[in-house]
Each structure stands twice: as C-alpha cells, then as structure tokens.
Amino acid sequence: MESSSSQEFIQHLINGISLGSIYALIALGYTMVYGILQLINFAHSEVYMVGAFAAFYASRSLGLDQHPGVGALIVILAAAVAACSILGVTIERLAYRPLRKSPKLNILITAIGVSLLLQFSGQIIFGADPKLFPEVIKDVVLFEIGGVDVRSMDVTILVIGTLFMTGLHFLVHHTKMGTAMRAVSSNGGVAALMGINVDRVISFTFIIGSSLAGVGAVLVGLKYPKIDPLMGTLIGIKAFVAAVLGGIGSLPGAMLGGVLLGLCEEMVVAYFSSTYRDALAFGILILILLFKPAGLLGSLQREKV
C-alpha cells in the first residue's frame, strides 16, 4: 500500500512536469516580448492556436498519421514553428510597430483586439468544431521503473521541451544576437547607439517566442488531441500566469513558473478535485500579485548613479 501510493505520486510528478514544460514553452513567449517591449502580447495564445492547426493541416495533407514516428513529429513541428513565426512577426509589424511610440495602453488594447480577431477568423477559416490532432506519436509504455510507467508521450514532451529551452538559453546567452536581445531589453535607445538595429531584434524576438508557442501547440496536441480555434484562451492565460509567477521578463522564471504551475495543477487534480484545476492558476496569480509582484525570479533593476 505504502509503495503504491508513492508510485502514484511519482506518476503524478512525471505528468505534472510534462504539463509544466508545455506551459513553460508558451510562457517564454510572453516573457520575451514583455522583456523587450513591456507589452503583454495577448495575441500569443492565438499564435499558439494557429500552430496547432498548422501541424494538423500539415499532417493531413501529407498523411502523416499513417506513418507515426519521430520523422512525422519533426515535420509537424517544423510546420507549426514556421506558421507561428510568420504570424508572430506579422502581428508585430502590422499591429504593434506602428504604435511603438504611443502610450502602452494603446498597444495593450490592440493586442487584445488582435487576439479576438484571430480567434474568430480561426472559427471562420478552420471551422468552430473541434478537430482531432494526428497521433504522430503512439502513447505506449516505454518501460517501467519500480512500478512507475514511463510513457512515450511524456518522454517526447520532456525531451522536446528540454531541447528547445536549452537551445533558447544558448541562443540568449552565447550568441551575438542573443546578447543584442538582452541589450535592447535593458535599454533600447543605447542599444541603437551601439549599431544594433532595434527593429530587427524585436522581430527576431517575436520569431523565437512564437516558434516556442508552435512547439508547445504540437506537444499539447499530442497530449490532449482535440484542437479548436478557441483553444488558446485558457492555456494562454495559464502560461501568462506561469510567466508572472516566475517573474515576467525573466527567462528562467518562465521555465520555473511553467513547471511549478503544471505540478500544482496535477497535484490538485490528483489529491483534491479536478474542479479546482483551472481555479488554481488564477488563485496563484492573485497570490503572486498580492505578495510578490515581481515574481519568484523577477527583480526590479535599479541603476547605480
């Protein structure tokens, strides 16, 4: 009895971390854009939704659900990443850039507008009824350790999540473009004095953030294979909560916040009631805003004079 309950706990732990790494991927997009523009990009959740549909149509047109496996997974990931980065960079160019110099509230409201526009355009283009996401990875038990099932789905999610987050960390900390991103985020005007093309860095940020949303969309599609044009709303808000929890603007914060939120959700569902699953995220948001508004890893930078 004792061992079976601890096995159960470990099972929930795995589930929670895999759900959390999906939140983390999407949260990174919010936090990156916030770090550079101080804008909550509400359209991010719809970029994510479009990623799921891009993967869906890519798979359908190529008949990939007939040939599941790593190859098919890579193809639909590429489709989602391509669609998301194009959409993300287009939104920035058409909706946010013209408003760069206007008050922050104007851009924020525009972001909400873009989000609604995409949700309902999605309903017209893709249809409002849910679609079944292709099962390009069969969810089987790969192996068992001490009575805990290790499933292919969770392994896929963890491997891909870790891969992309490590890649992002490398990009941001060990490349010239990544350093430029951090420079722009700290002071755009001075960054331009260094010869950094700030517009280009912002576009690049949207490309990277949106790509991660695309990856997240594929992983969610694999785990919860029902997709519809409004699918971004709830997970978007949760990812946003994860970003705030970790400290908005902080990349490690978004990753930590995502994993923590996923774990909390899984544990609440497992040990209390699934009714509280969604309430939890909002409860966390309220607590964070009340007691630690800068988030777990966020900090308010002060300049020395």
Q: Contact at 8 Å (CB) between 249 and 34?
A: yes
Question: Closer to other proteins at the Cβ: 66 or 175?
Answer: 175
How far is it, in rounded angstroms, from Cα 58 to Cα 73? 11
Burial of 64 (0-12, 13-18, 19+ CB in 10 A): buried
| Coil, strand or helix at 144 | strand
Q: Smallest distance, Å, CB 265 to other proteins? A: 31
CB of 235 within 8 A of CB of 220?
Answer: yes
Structure tokens given for 293? 């508004």
Q: Are 45 and 91 in contact (CB under 8 A)?
A: no
Query: 7 or 179, CB closer to other proteins?
Result: 179
For other proteins, the closer of residues 16 and 178 by Cβ is 178
What residues make contact with other proteins under the rule CB under 8 A? Answer: 176, 179-180, 182-183, 185-187, 189-198, 301, 303-305
Give the position of tokens 């008050």: 103
Give the shortest CB-31-to-other proteins separation in angstroms.
Answer: 14
- In the complex, the smallest distance separating the C-beta of residue 7 from other proteins, rounded to whole angstroms, is 43
The C-alpha atoms of residue 198 and residue 170 are separated, in whole angstroms, by: 21
* Residue 165 CB, nearest approach to other proteins (Å): 19
Query: Closer CB to other proteins, residue 172 or residue 243?
Result: 172
User: Measured from the CB of residue 248, what is the shortest distance to other proteins in angstroms?
Assistant: 15
- Closest to other proteins by CB, 138 or 304: 304
